[in-house]
Amino acid sequence: MEIDRKQSVHSEAAVLVGVDLAGSPTLAEAPLEELGGLVESAGAEIVGRLVQRRETPDIATYIGKGKLEELKSLVGAADADVVVFDNDLSPAQVRNLEQAVGVKVLDRTELILDIFSTRAQTHEARLAVELAQLEYSLPRLKRMWTHLSRLKMGVGMRGPGEKQLETDRRLVEKRINDLKRDLDKVLHRKEREVAARSDRMTVSLVGYTNAGKSTLLNKLTDASVYAQDQLFATLDTRTRQWRLPGWGPVLLSDTVGFIRDLPHRLIASFKATLEEARQADLLLHVADASSPSAGDQIRAVYAVLEEIGIEQKDTLLVLNKADAADEATLTVLEQRYPGAVRTSARSGDGLDRLARAVSDALSREFVEVDVETSVGDGRLLAYLAKHGEVLSRTFTDDRVTVHCRVPRKYLGRVAGADTVVRPRAADAASPDAPPSGAAAMGEVA
């Protein structure tokens, strides 16, 4: 079921509104900069901006009465078609604001969903976006059926609007259930696809939207995926082979970009798309070092990683667009996140350093062991040669001891009834994997 919700802001004149609650650093440092980028990505022209600082939002209109009058005047003077809030509004607040200003009002979530709907290319992405839109729409159906108030409620016509509303509610709920079922199938298929590649080391690019992940993927793998200087240019996962110098081929995946206050329902809907990141051996957190909000964006990405349950995964911070960044900003970020690597995906500067850092990070996933087995176990010996680095072989009667380095995740597949696995001294002293995630990469509280 498709609902004409008239949400697109394409080719419309937009007034931006932000309410700074309890001193938001994002609004204080760059008022409505990100919202402006989102609105322009949706195809609208910005004709006005309005910011208010409040302790708590007004329960009826989110902004205060004085600011509401100022907004009405601004909308009229600029001949605006739409007002876009950098906050999430309740259905009642949207209705009250629309009645007051006389034009369409969108909140941050609705705008992001609108952009996602225009960028979704694959069947999987379209399912995820439609599910998120319908879940957002369900509590707002009454607002969408205001045209029914024009029907006369005389004898024999009492309550047709409510009947139609309930009918639509049931249709939307059924479609939501259908989409969830379809996305579960997609997720299970995606899990099988990712599991089938478990014999390869995998690296996943994550980061704030428009940080340069797709450009970096293209530069490292000679791929030709779509990469533009716009928010949410990528909604679908792309995986390419990266020949890592001194290491060999690994799989490098690009993922959908994150953003501050990313709608929870959108994260849930894109669970299948984020499966690559969940199963990766290493995350490359790509940050736009040239952004004045780089620090906030890095923290926002770590918050999303925590929400999807992979914040403890080994992560390497990549300070991209370093050629356009201020040296003082780069220094502060490197002090806060030791181990971060400066790069410029566009010029190629720093990619050699990045490759070495990735090789070192992946090496931490290996353990040096002696594997003793029967000389006739050709399958195991071939497995060790394929998935590890065989350093030496020692034969004793009908037994062979293979000294090798193998990924920790494969140790369980090596063990068997006729096989003995003995960690080397260095690994025996520290049997656990090294710390990972933001803390391991130098996150400072």
Tens of pLDDT along 158-169? 444 456 667 777
Rounded to an integer, what distance in angstroms lies between the CA atom of residue 282 and that of residue 420? Answer: 29
pLDDT tens across 236-283, in order?
677 888 988 777 788 898 887 888 777 766 776 666 667 778 888 889
The reply to whether 166 and 224 lie within a common domain is no
Any domain includes 217: yes
| H or E segment to which residue 319 belongs | strand 315-320
User: Which of 244-258, 290-304, 329-343 shows the highest mean pLDDT?
Assistant: 329-343
**Across residues 100-129, what is the average pLDDT?**
85
Q: Which of 80, 101, 118 is the last residue of a domain?
A: 118
Rounded to an integer, what distance in angstroms lies between the CA atom of residue 19 and that of residue 437? Answer: 33
Q: Could you tell me the CATH number of the domain that includes residue 60?
A: 3.40.50.11060
Tell me which residue range forms the domain holding 54. 13-118
The reply to whether 80 and 110 lie within a common domain is yes
Q: Could you tell me the CATH number of the domain that includes residue 402?
A: 3.30.70.240
Cα 219 to Cα 104, 232, 328, distances in angstroms: 42, 19, 27
pLDDT surpassing 90 at residue 146: no
**Across residues 354-375, what is the average pLDDT?**
86
What confidence score (pLDDT) does residue 444 get?
Answer: 31
What confidence score (pLDDT) does residue 104 get?
Answer: 92
What confidence score (pLDDT) does residue 45 get?
Answer: 92
Q: In 148-293, where does DSSP find H-type helix?
A: 160-196, 213-221, 264-269, 275-279
Average pLDDT of the chain? Answer: 79
What confidence score (pLDDT) does residue 9 get?
Answer: 57
Q: Which of 68, 91, 118 is the last residue of a domain?
A: 118
Any domain includes 403: yes
The reply to whether 186 and 248 lie within a common domain is no
Q: Structure tokens of 287? A: 């940050």
What confidence score (pLDDT) does residue 257 get?
Answer: 80
pLDDT tens across 164-185, in order?
667 777 888 888 899 889 888 8
- Cα angle 209, 218, 306; round to 5: 35
**Across residues 54-70, what is the average pLDDT?**
93
**Across residues 71-92, what is the average pLDDT?**
93
Any domain includes 393: yes
The reply to whether 222 and 310 lie within a common domain is yes
Q: Name the more confident of 291 and 270.
A: 291
Percentage of the chain with pLDDT > 70? 78
The reply to whether 131 and 68 lie within a common domain is no
What confidence score (pLDDT) does residue 150 get?
Answer: 39
- Ranges 245-259, 278-292, 295-309, 344-358: which has the least confidence: 245-259
pLDDT surpassing 70 at residue 27: no
Cα 237 to Cα 42, 133, 169, 253, 256, distances in angstroms: 22, 20, 33, 7, 7
Rounded to an integer, what distance in angstroms lies between the CA atom of residue 392 and that of residue 398? Answer: 17
The reply to whether 161 and 94 lie within a common domain is no
What confidence score (pLDDT) does residue 225 get?
Answer: 55
Q: Which of 140, 168, 193 is the last residue of a domain?
A: 193
**Across residues 285-301, what is the average pLDDT?**
90
Model pTM score: 0.71
pLDDT surpassing 70 at residue 206: yes
The reply to whether 282 and 323 lie within a common domain is yes
- Ranges 46-55, 63-72, 218-227, 434-443: which has the least confidence: 434-443
What confidence score (pLDDT) does residue 441 get?
Answer: 34
Any domain includes 437: no
